[in-house]
């Protein structure tokens, strides 16, 4: 048996370890520029493992570096057959350019990059296998730099970003893969899911529709499309109701949102935030405080929730807590004028409440209408009218109470004065008016000889 046949038998019977040894020796010889010696080791590796596309590719690169383009072409073709999406496609065009205008140095550079890429791929897969996603990303950064057109590496890096919770960077990696692969429905679906989980339902709809354009019967895409479409419609409808000041209908829609998607925190948090807002607008402070507090626990840095709960506290005449919420919101956003103005108003109301709170004097809510205010005034005026008391000390206390009751009625039944009071100014306090001029109101200022008749 001649040496050629003996060599063939030894290759056919080569173990995995022997093949790896030949590949490693080939890489070392390539690094030393010994192309012919490297080629002989790649012959062994190719014949020993005919399913390894990278070995074919590397041997083709050696052939090209030696100026043997015709020998390289079958290996490049075989590499593409074994892995159709492999980066050899773009490299094939580069090498074709080199064949027309030979440049041995450039060919060697291409070969070195191919070897580096092979080693980096192995390192990335090893890191990913052991769950070291940060290291995998670091290695893949260089891989993508060397091979920006290969979707496999971007998809792997996107998976690592998802594992680490960085959905934005995962989206950045997956977006170009939709163009790098034909019929990449999986990428469109994953992009749609990522946008959905971030609360970007319109972007989610756009990507899942692209998936259905490729195959309208794709079960996963169709199922996801129905879910996103339903939720998107509910969200849009709820916001339309708010724009039209139909707050109860908006509340109903946002409750539907929480039933439709109870598992993605963004949507349940958003629904609670907007329900809180609507309850404040509907002047239902007790319910608003409960919902806002629950929303605040889930999203403690959300200034909109803090603002709305502060307004609910104001409606509930709990000005200290209103000031606390506005101060907390201001810490998160010092530039927000709405928060600044709300804080100033809450502080004024707190200051006023320590003097005279006309709502508390009459025992009515801040949302009370004029009829309710007049009814409360009549009841208290009858109770505290000075003519009802004989003792001088009791009569003086009654006069003081009656003045407060009459002042409260004067302010709260006058739209302009009530608006001033609701904004933190006391229209009957001379100190709070420009030039010290207020609207003094004392029914007993002529000596206490006023008598009132109440009609029922």
CATH number, domain with residue 386: 1.10.287.110
Boundary-marking domain end, from 335, 355, 375: 355
Q: What percent of the chain has pLDDT over 90?
A: 52
Q: Round the average pLDDT of the chain to a whole number and report it.
A: 84
pLDDT in tens, 252-284: 999 999 999 999 999 999 999 999 999 999 999
Instruction: Report yes or no on 94 lying in a domain.
Output: no
pLDDT for res 20: 83
Task: Go through 91-113 and write b for each residue having 16 or more CB atoms within 10 A of its CB, e for each that does not.
Answer: bbeebeebeeeeeeebbbebbee
pLDDT in tens, 407-426: 999 999 999 999 988 888 88
3-state helix, strand, coil in the chain (%, to 5): 75, 0, 25
Structural domain of 55: 16-88
Angle (CA) 181-182-188 rounded to 5° is: 70
Measure the CA–CA gap between 408 and 95, rounded to whole angstroms: 91
Same domain, 332 and 375: no
Measure the CA–CA gap between 7 and 14, rounded to whole angstroms: 11
Neighbours of 232 (CB within 10 A): 15
pLDDT for res 441: 53
Same domain, 52 and 119: no
pLDDT for res 146: 81
- 0.75 surpassed by pTM: no
Q: Which residue has the higher pLDDT, 439 or 327?
A: 327
96-110, 123-137, 192-206, 320-334, range with the lowest pLDDT: 96-110
Statement: residue 30 has pLDDT above 80: no
Instruction: Report yes or no on 452 lying in a domain.
Output: no
pLDDT in tens, 287-316: 999 999 999 999 999 999 999 999 999 999
Number of structural domains (the chain) is: 4
Instruction: Report yes or no on 120 lying in a domain.
Output: yes
Instruction: Report yes or no on 9 lying in a domain.
Output: no
Instruction: Report yes or no on 448 lying in a domain.
Output: no
Same domain, 224 and 110: yes
CB of 265 closer than 8 Å to CB of 257 = no
Same domain, 215 and 115: yes
Confidence of residue 78 (pLDDT cuts 50, 70, 90): confident
Statement: residue 406 has pLDDT above 70: yes
Same domain, 192 and 218: yes
Angle (CA) 291-297-301 rounded to 5° is: 110
Same domain, 150 and 223: yes
Q: Which residue has the higher pLDDT, 401 or 171?
A: 171
Instruction: Report yes or no on 143 lying in a domain.
Output: yes
Instruction: Report yes or no on 5 lying in a domain.
Output: no
pLDDT in tens, 337-389: 999 999 999 998 898 777 788 998 999 988 899 999 999 999 999 999 988 88
pLDDT for res 324: 96
Q: What is the DSSP string of 73-93?
A: HHHHHHHHHH-TTSTHHHHHH
Q: Which residue has the higher pLDDT, 18 or 86?
A: 18
pLDDT in tens, 102-148: 445 555 566 666 677 778 888 999 999 999 999 999 999 998 888 77
Same domain, 184 and 226: yes
Measure the CA–CA gap between 54 and 76, rounded to whole angstroms: 10
- The structure tokens 């073709």 sit at 77
CA dist 216 → 177, 191, 210, 211, 223 (Å): 20, 17, 10, 8, 11
Q: Which residue has the higher pLDDT, 283 or 436?
A: 283
For the ranges 47-51, 64-68, 408-412, 450-454, the maximum mean pLDDT occurs at 408-412
pLDDT for res 431: 64
- The structure tokens 């590397």 sit at 58
Measure the CA–CA gap between 199 and 271, rounded to whole angstroms: 12
pLDDT for res 373: 94
pLDDT for res 7: 36
Instruction: Report yes or no on 326 lying in a domain.
Output: yes
Statement: residue 434 has pLDDT above 50: yes
pLDDT for res 80: 76
pLDDT for res 269: 95
Q: What is the DSSP string of 336-401?
A: -HHHHHHHHHHHHHHHHHTT--HHHHHT--TT--HHHHHHHHHHHHHHH-GGG--SHHHHHHHHHH
Q: What is the sign, positive or negative, of the torsion defined by CA atoms of 55, 56, 61, 65?
A: positive
pLDDT for res 249: 97
DSSP secondary structure code for residue 32 in this structure: T
CB of 29 closer than 8 Å to CB of 38 = yes
Same domain, 139 and 207: yes
Statement: residue 453 has pLDDT above 50: no
Same domain, 119 and 76: no
Statement: residue 285 has pLDDT above 60: yes
Same domain, 297 and 225: no
Same domain, 58 and 114: no
Same domain, 117 and 186: yes
Q: Which of 307, 234, 313 is nearest to 268 (CA)?
A: 234
Statement: residue 41 has pLDDT above 70: yes
CATH code for the domain of 63: 1.25.40.10
């Amino acid at each position: 048996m001649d040496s050629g046949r003996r060599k063939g038998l030894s290759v056919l019977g080569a173990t995995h370890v022997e093949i790896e040894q030949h590949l490693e020796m080939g890489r070392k010889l390539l690094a030393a520029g010994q192309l012919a010696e490297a080629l002989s080791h790649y012959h062994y590796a190719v014949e020993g493992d005919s399913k390894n596309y990278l070995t074919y590719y590397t041997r083709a690169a050696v052939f090209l570096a030696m100026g043997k383009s015709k020998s390289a072409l079958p290996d490049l073709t075989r590499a593409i057959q074994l892995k159709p999406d492999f980066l050899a496609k773009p490299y094939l065009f580069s090498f074709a350019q080199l064949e027309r205008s030979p440049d041995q140095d450039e060919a060697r550079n291409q070969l070195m990059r191919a070897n580096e890429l092979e080693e980096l791929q192995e390192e990335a897969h090893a890191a990913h296998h052991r769950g070291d996603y940060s290291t995998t990303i670091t290695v893949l950064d260089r891989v993508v730099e060397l091979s920006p057109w290969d979707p496999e590496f971007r998809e792997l890096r996107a998976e690592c970003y998802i594992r680490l919770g960085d959905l934005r960077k995962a989206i950045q990696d997956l977006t170009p893969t939709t163009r790098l692969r034909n019929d990449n429905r999986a990428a469109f679906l994953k992009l749609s899911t990522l946008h959905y989980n971030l609360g970007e339902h319109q972007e989610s709809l756009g990507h899942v529709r692209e998936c259905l354009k490729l195959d309208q019967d794709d079960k996963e895409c169709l199922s996801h499309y129905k879910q996103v479409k339903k939720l998107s419609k509910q969200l849009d409808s709820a916001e339309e109701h708010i724009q039209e000041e139909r707050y109860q209908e908006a509340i109903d829609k946002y409750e539907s949102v929480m039933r439709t998607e109870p598992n993605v925190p963004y949507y349940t948090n958003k629904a609670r935030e907007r329900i809180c807002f609507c309850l404040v607008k509907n002047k239902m402070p007790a319910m608003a405080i409960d919902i806002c507090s629950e929303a605040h626990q889930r999203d403690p840095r959300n200034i909109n929730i803090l603002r709305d709960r502060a307004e609910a506290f104001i409606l509930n005449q709990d000005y200290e807590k209103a000031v606390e919420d506005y101060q907390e919101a201001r810490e998160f956003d010092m530039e927000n004028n709405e928060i600044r103005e709300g804080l100033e108003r809450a502080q004024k109301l707190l200051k006023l409440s320590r003097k005279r709170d006309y709502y508390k004097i009459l025992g009515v809510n801040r949302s009370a209408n004029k009829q309710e205010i007049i009814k409360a005034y009549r009841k208290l005026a009858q109770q505290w009218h000075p003519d009802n008391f004989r003792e001088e000390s009791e009569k003086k206390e009654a006069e003081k109470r009656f003045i407060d009751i009459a002042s409260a009625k004067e302010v709260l039944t006058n739209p302009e004065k009530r608006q001033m009071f609701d904004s933190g100014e006391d229209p009957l306090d001379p100190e709070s008016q420009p030039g010290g001029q207020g609207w003094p109101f004392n029914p007993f200022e002529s000596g206490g000889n006023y008598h009132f008749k109440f009609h029922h």
